[in-house]
C-alpha cells in the first residue's frame, strides 16, 4: 500500500504548526522593539524543532521541504513588517496607477489565462484518454501473441514488418460481453456504430495494414508511413488514413469512410481486441490528437499481404 499521502500529511501539518508557533512567538516578543533578537531566536528554535520532530517520522528530504516552506513564509512575514518593504509596495502601487501599465498587466493576465486554459484542456483530455484506455485494457485484456509462421510482410521500400497472431484466441462470447461493458463504462455506446465483432485475430493497426488478419505493433506504423509514401493532409477523402497519437507515439490507426461538407468526418477502425466501429474522428477512445494521411499507392495493405507497392517517393496529387 502506498503511504506517501501519510508522509505529506505529517509534513503539511507540521509546517502549519510551525507557522502557528512562530507567529505566536513573534506576536508576544514583537511588542517591544528591543526584543528583536529574542524573536529571531524563537523563530529559529521553532524551525529547528519542527525539523527534528519530522525526521523521526518522515524521510529527511520531506522534513527539509517542510522547513523550507516554513522559512519562506516567515521571511515574507518579516519583510512585510519592514519599512523597506512598505516603501517598495508604495512605489509599486504608484507605478501600477499608470493606465498603460495597469491595462498592460490586464492584457498579460488575459494571455496567461488563454494559455493556461489550453494547457489545462490538454492535461484533462489526456487524463480522460489515459483513464479510458486503462478501463478498456482492464475490461478486454490483451491476448498473448507470437510472430506468424510463414508470413512475410514488408513496406514498399522492402523493410520487413513483423506481423503476429494470438497464441490462443479467446471465445467470441466472452469478448462480446467484455466489449459491451467497456463501451458502457467509457460512455461510448451511443457514439459508435458497430461494424464487426470483437476478435483477438488483429488489432487496429493490423486491421488497417494486414486486412484484419494479424496483429501489428504501433512502433511499426511510423516506418510504414514513411516507406509507403504517406503525407499528412488537411482535406481528408474516403479511403485516407487517420493516425492517433498519445505522448507523441502512435496509439491508433483507422480509415476515413465518409466526408460531407459541414459535417464531422466519419472514420472506421478496430479498437484493440474489440470490434470494428464507425464513429466521428474526434469520438474515439484514443483522444483528439490525430492527423489525416494520404498515399499515392492503392490501399493500405502491406506488400506480401495483398498490397501493391506504389511509386517510391510519389506524392498524391491532392497533397502536391
User: What end-to-end distance do the CA atoms of the chain give, in Å?
Assistant: 57
pLDDT in tens, 197-256: 888 889 999 999 999 999 999 889 999 999 999 999 999 999 999 999 988 889 999 999
Q: What is the pTM of this model?
A: 0.58
pLDDT value for 319: 41
DSSP state of 300: S
CA distance 120 to 218: 28
CA distance 284 to 307: 27
Give the 3-state secondary structure of 244-299.
EEECCEEEEEEEEEECCCCCCCEEEEECCCCCEEEEECCCCCCCCCEEEEECCCCC
pLDDT value for 138: 45
pLDDT value for 1: 44
pLDDT value for 109: 82
pLDDT value for 312: 55
C-alpha cell at 149: 509462421
Whether the CA torsion 255, 260, 261, 262 is positive or negative: it is negative
Domain ranges of the chain: 4-96, 146-319
Asked if 229 and 218 touch (Cβ cutoff 8 Å), the reply is no
pLDDT in tens, 106-140: 888 888 888 877 777 766 666 666 666 555 554 44
pLDDT value for 160: 94
Listed as ranges, residues in the chain with pLDDT below 70 are: 1-7, 10, 29-37, 122-142, 310-320
pLDDT value for 230: 96
Amino acid at each position: 500500500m502506498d503511504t506517501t499521502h501519510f508522509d505529506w500529511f505529517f509534513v503539511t501539518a507540521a509546517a502549519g504548526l510551525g507557522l502557528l508557533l512562530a507567529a505566536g512567538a513573534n506576536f508576544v516578543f514583537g511588542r517591544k522593539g528591543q526584543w528583536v533578537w529574542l524573536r529571531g531566536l524563537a523563530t529559529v528554535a521553532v524551525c529547528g524543532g519542527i525539523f527534528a520532530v519530522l525526521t523521526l517520522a518522515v524521510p529527511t528530504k520531506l522534513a527539509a521541504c517542510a522547513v523550507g516552506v516554513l522559512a519562506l513564509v516567515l521571511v515574507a512575514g518579516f519583510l512585510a513588517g519592514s519599512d523597506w518593504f512598505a516603501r517598495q509596495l508604495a512605489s509599486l502601487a504608484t507605478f501600477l496607477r499608470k493606465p498603460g501599465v495597469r491595462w498592460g498587466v490586464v492584457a498579460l493576465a488575459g494571455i496567461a489565462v488563454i494559455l493556461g486554459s489550453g494547457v489545462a484542456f490538454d492535461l484533462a483530455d489526456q487524463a480522460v484518454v489515459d483513464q479510458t484506455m486503462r478501463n478498456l485494457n482492464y475490461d478486454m485484456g490483451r491476448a498473448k501473441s507470437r510472430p506468424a509462421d510463414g508470413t512475410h510482410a514488408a513496406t514498399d521500400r522492402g523493410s520487413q514488418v513483423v506481423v503476429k497472431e494470438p497464441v490462443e484466441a479467446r471465445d467470441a462470447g466472452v469478448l462480446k460481453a467484455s466489449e459491451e461493458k467497456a463501451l458502457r463504462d467509457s460512455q461510448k455506446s451511443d457514439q459508435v456504430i458497430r461494424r464487426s465483432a470483437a476478435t483477438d485475430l488483429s488489432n487496429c493497426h493490423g486491421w488497417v495494414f494486414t486486412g484484419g488478419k494479424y496483429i501489428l505493433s504501433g512502433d511499426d506504423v511510423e516506418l510504414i508511413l514513411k516507406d509507403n509514401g504517406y503525407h499528412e493532409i488537411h482535406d481528408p477523402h474516403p479511403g485516407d488514413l487517420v493516425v492517433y497519437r498519445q505522448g507523441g507515439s502512435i496509439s491508433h490507426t483507422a480509415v476515413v469512410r465518409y466526408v460531407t461538407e459541414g459535417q464531422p468526418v466519419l472514420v472506421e477502425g478496430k479498437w484493440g481486441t474489440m470490434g470494428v466501429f464507425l464513429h466521428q474522428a474526434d469520438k474515439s477512445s484514443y483522444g483528439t490528437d490525430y492527423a489525416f494521411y494520404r498515399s499515392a499507392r492503392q490501399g493500405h495493405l502491406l506488400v506480401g499481404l495483398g498490397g501493391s507497392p506504389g511509386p517510391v517517393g510519389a506524392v498524391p496529387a491532392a497533397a502536391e
